[in-house]
Amino acid sequence: MPAANTRFRLGVDLGGTKIEILALDAQGGERFRQRVATPQGDYDATLRAIATLVQNAESALGGSGTVGIGTPGSISRATGLLRGSNSVCMNGKPIQRDLERVIGRAVRITNDANCFALSEASDGAGRGAAVVFGVILGTGVGGGIVVGGRILDGPNAIAGEWGHNPLPWPRDDERPGAPCFCGHDGCIETFLSGPGLERDHRLVAGETLTTHAIVERATQGDAACAASLARYEERLARALAHVMNILDPDAIVLGGGLSNIDALYVDVPNLWGEWVFSDRVDTRLLKHVHGDASGVRGAAWLWPIASQN
């Protein structure tokens, strides 16, 4: 019979600049947290750094836990190799298999947007909702879908990746849209990311401001900034309505830097009804609870609490 103190879950957030580990107990409480810099450009050193963090957590807590990993990119189901990570030394590597070797147990791994959605669906803003669409609005735009407490992971491992769909119901002045790094023009990400808002403001208002400055000046009554924020909200409403017409989630939880704009949670639900194919909309638009911690928390939630036997 395992001792009570072995019943914890380890979540690892593997990012381009830092690696963080978090241990959650059976009640979802934090028991251990540590952060180190990501070894730059060195895949083997990155694996060792993760193994050391796991060791440190287990020495501190006395026992062994399950290990979940969240990281940008996704693992190809066909090849088992990571792709699309912004830490390019990780791409093309069988990271799951290698981590299982160095840590000595099965690990679960998924992308950071899925971790965000799982964290918020498990004990965050979307707790209790059957279907949660988690959205990251930051430097990039991504998302993840959680159904009944589990990440919806399709055969291509891309469920929820809406940022590289085109902006729906485009107006004439929105076509073809800005080129996106993915090779297409006018992706949702080119409108709804922080750089997208800044670009739009630069094009329309003729001034170069940071996202933070645009939002702050809008709240202070600057007309041009308020107009840019209004365009942003209307585009977000359209982009979310498009998802709602397919998925009809109970809750949409926003994360990433732009999710801290409080006006979104009032204004966007007032707008999205125009495009949602329903006479009324009961979907809740919610601000994240765990914020930056959702990466490690969601990674930990990748494993259920082990039943005591």
Residue 292 contacts residue 18 (beta carbons within 8 Å): no
CB of 84 vs Zn ion, minimal distance in Å: 12
CB nearer Zn ion, residue 182 or residue 266: 182
Cα–Cα distance for residue pair 11/69, rounded to 1 Å: 6
CB nearer Zn ion, residue 9 or residue 164: 164
Cα–Cα distance for residue pair 269/218, rounded to 1 Å: 19
164 contributes a contact to Zn ion by CB under 5 A: yes
Bridge partners for 253 per DSSP:
134, 286
Q: Tell me the window of 122-130, 133-141, 178-186, 290-298 that interacts with Zn ion (CB under 5 A).
A: 178-186
Residue 291 contacts residue 125 (beta carbons within 8 Å): no
167 contributes a contact to Zn ion by CB under 5 A: no
CA 153 to chain centre: 14
Cα–Cα distance for residue pair 261/220, rounded to 1 Å: 14
Which three-class secondary structure state does DSSP give residue 133? strand
Choosing from 57, 113, 151, 187, the residue that interacts with Zn ion (CB under 5 A) is 187
Choosing from 24, 180, 214, 244, the residue that interacts with Zn ion (CB under 5 A) is 180
CB nearer Zn ion, residue 24 or residue 180: 180
Q: Which residues contact 37 (CB under 8 A, 6 or more apart)?
A: 17, 18, 19
Q: Tell me the window of 3-11, 86-94, 168-176, 187-195 that interacts with Zn ion (CB under 5 A).
A: 187-195
CB of 87 vs Zn ion, minimal distance in Å: 20
Cα diameter, the chain? 67
CB of 195 vs Zn ion, minimal distance in Å: 12
Q: For the chain, report the end-to-end CA distance as a whole number of angstroms.
A: 6
CB of 303 vs Zn ion, minimal distance in Å: 32
H/E element, 54? helix 43-61
CB of 180 vs Zn ion, minimal distance in Å: 3
CB nearer Zn ion, residue 196 or residue 249: 196
CB of 175 vs Zn ion, minimal distance in Å: 15
182 contributes a contact to Zn ion by CB under 5 A: yes
Closest CA to 274 of 119, 143, 169: 169
Count of C-beta atoms within a 10 Å radius of residue 65: 25
Q: Tell me the window of 89-97, 134-142, 158-166, 236-244 that interacts with Zn ion (CB under 5 A).
A: 158-166
Q: Tell me the window of 6-14, 25-33, 107-115, 174-182 that interacts with Zn ion (CB under 5 A).
A: 174-182
Binding site for Zn ion (CB under 5 A): 164, 180, 182, 187
